[in-house]
């Protein structure tokens, strides 16, 4: 049987953690033949709650769960980690401006990026879920780059929830099963500015754009629905998306580790593709094979799409400028 791999999860006592950990331990992320050791990071005041989650994990008697560690020390949590899911982040408090949120999280993700680069497996794969996730991933990657050792391209932000939300909306609109939809992409930031783009999407070989054939629906219904879905969930549930966010994190890591037979949206550091400045963590269409990913090249960007892409890029450039001093 396979040797266990180490999966570090931050924010382990939080609501996404409560959905995520059980699915990792049951083998849904890395395969039903892959034992895992969970390394759980949370703040000192959350350690008791983490212990409670660990008790429940024990009570599941998961055959693949080969060990667990709880800690408030990033150097311990990321030690020899093969996968890191950075879920814990500073939420926006009352009276907190966007810039304050960026710098508060900047402080967390510089520390964690450095701790990962110093302690984790050299081939570590990192996914940032905690918001603002693109910029947090950019910060962690920049801190890691200073250390060296790990691959800066392996610091990702999570766009997969937006991707999955878009697929479900399109399935409903076209009356086709989600499983028939291929080649979806969400460009840009995980925020209402993201651009969910189904121009290349097919369903059993049919063009989804042709099936929908409704530009007004795209512009006035589809994009706002996907972009504001997080707020709609908070409004309905009184809490932010948790199980669906955990599901998207599982999907992202699963496909990255084990391969995808379709395009998947990943927030990855730009290599300059599609005119996105190098280093910006941006939602791109990707393909995964042999534990690696690559950005799909050569897609046509029409005028409408360029405008949408520029808008979400502008927001990311502003975020990047707001944290630039912290990364010197």
Which residue ranges make up the site for ligand NAX (CB under 6 A)?
10-11, 13-17, 41-43, 46, 87-91, 108, 129-131, 133, 158, 161, 190, 230, 240-242, 245
In the complex, minimum distance from the CB of residue 95 to ligand NAX, in angstroms, rounded to a whole number: 18
When the beta carbons of 284 and 299 are compared against ligand NAX, the nearer one is: 284
In the complex, minimum distance from the CB of residue 202 to ligand NAX, in angstroms, rounded to a whole number: 25
When the beta carbons of 39 and 202 are compared against ligand NAX, the nearer one is: 39
When the beta carbons of 133 and 299 are compared against ligand NAX, the nearer one is: 133
Placement of tokens 């892959």 in the chain: 34
Cβ burial, residue 93 (10 Å; 0-12/13-18/19+): exposed
Sequence length of the chain is 328
When the beta carbons of 134 and 270 are compared against ligand NAX, the nearer one is: 134
In the complex, minimum distance from the CB of residue 106 to ligand NAX, in angstroms, rounded to a whole number: 12
What is the C-alpha separation between 4 and 19, in angstroms, rounded? 21
Cβ atoms within 10 Å of 89's Cβ, excluding its own: 22
| Catalytic residue numbers, as ranges | 190
Under 8 Å between Cβ of 123 and 153: no
Selection from 231, 159, 230 nearest residue 195 by Cα: 159
In the complex, minimum distance from the CB of residue 90 to ligand NAX, in angstroms, rounded to a whole number: 6
What is the C-alpha separation between 112 and 100, in angstroms, rounded? 19
Identify any residues that bridge with 70 across adjacent strands, giving them in sequence order.
40
Residue with the shortest CB distance to ligand NAX:
14
At 158, list the tokens. Answer: 């999570």
């Amino acid at each position: 049987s396979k040797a266990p791999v180490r999966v570090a999860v931050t924010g382990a006592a939080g609501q996404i953690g409560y959905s995520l950990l059980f699915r990792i331990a049951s083998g849904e992320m890395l395969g039903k033949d892959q034992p895992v050791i969970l390394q759980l990071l949370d703040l000192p005041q959350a350690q008791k709650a983490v212990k409670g989650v660990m008790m429940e994990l024990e009570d599941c008697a998961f055959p693949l769960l080969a060990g667990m560690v709880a800690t408030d020390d990033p150097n311990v949590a990321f030690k020899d980690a093969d996968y890191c899911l950075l879920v814990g982040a500073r939420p926006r408090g009352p009276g907190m401006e966007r810039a304050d949120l960026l710098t508060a999280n900047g402080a967390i993700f510089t520390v964690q990026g450095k701790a990962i680069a110093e302690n984790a497996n050299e081939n570590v794969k990192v996914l940032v879920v905690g918001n603002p996730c693109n910029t947090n991933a950019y910060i962690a990657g920049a801190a890691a780059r200073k250390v060296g050792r790990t691959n800066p391209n392996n610091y990702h932000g999570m766009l997969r929830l937006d991707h999955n939300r878009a697929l479900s909306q399109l399935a409903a609109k076209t009356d086709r099963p989600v499983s028939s939809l291929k080649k979806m992409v969400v460009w840009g930031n995980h925020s209402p500015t993201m651009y969910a783009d189904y121009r290349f999407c097919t369903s059993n070989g049919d063009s989804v754009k042709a099936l929908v054939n409704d530009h007004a629906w795209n512009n006035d219904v589809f994009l706002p629905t996907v972009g504001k879905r997080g707020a709609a969930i908070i409004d309905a549930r009184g809490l932010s998306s948790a199980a669906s966010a955990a599901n998207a994190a599982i999907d992202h890591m699963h496909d990255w580790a084990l391969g995808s037979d379709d395009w998947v949206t990943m927030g990855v550091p730009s290599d300059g593709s599609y005119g996105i400045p190098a280093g910006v963590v941006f939602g791109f269409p990707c393909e995964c094979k042999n534990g690696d990913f690559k950005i799909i090249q050569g897609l046509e960007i029409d005028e409408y799409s360029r405008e949408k892409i520029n808008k979400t890029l502008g927001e990311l450039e502003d975020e990047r400028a707001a944290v630039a001093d912290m990364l010197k």
